[in-house]
Amino acid sequence: NAGVMQNPRHLVRRRGQEARLRCSPMKGHSHVYWYRQLPEEGLKFMVYLQKENIIDESGMPKERFSAEFPKEGPSILRIQQVVRGDSAAYFCASSPLASGTEAFFGQGTRLTVV
């Protein structure tokens, strides 16, 4: 049973380009969470998704950021027209239930905007 898989591990984008981050949850997990970690800061919640549904996106910037978790395939975090301030580590976590269990984290995608 593979863990939470994120790819790519490292992503470099020029300002104005689009970044697509992928997260495949653990087998049997239908709940996915995205977090952003800025240098020297803790993990900040961005969005919580179940299959085909966004449950809570209160941590997502209103513009340029979107997330999806389709019926088939990985969850995608999409950042349009990236800016330098988007440079961060983006972690995905999955859990089998909505609550009461720990979330398992992927290795993260380190996005660098140049």
Q: How many residues touch other proteins (CB under 8 A)?
A: 26
The letter for the amino acid at 29 is H
Pairing outcome for strands 109-113 and 10-13 = parallel
* 66 binds other proteins per the rule CB under 8 A: no
* 10 binds other proteins per the rule CB under 8 A: no
The letter for the amino acid at 60 is M
CB of 92 to other proteins, least distance (A): 9
Report cis status (omega within 30 of 0) of the bond before 8: yes
- For the record, the structure tokens of 68 come out as 């999806």
Helices (H), the chain: none
Pick 55 or 83: Cβ nearer other proteins: 55
* Window 43-62: contact mask with other proteins (x via CB under 8 A): xxx--x------xx-xx---
* 74 binds other proteins per the rule CB under 8 A: no
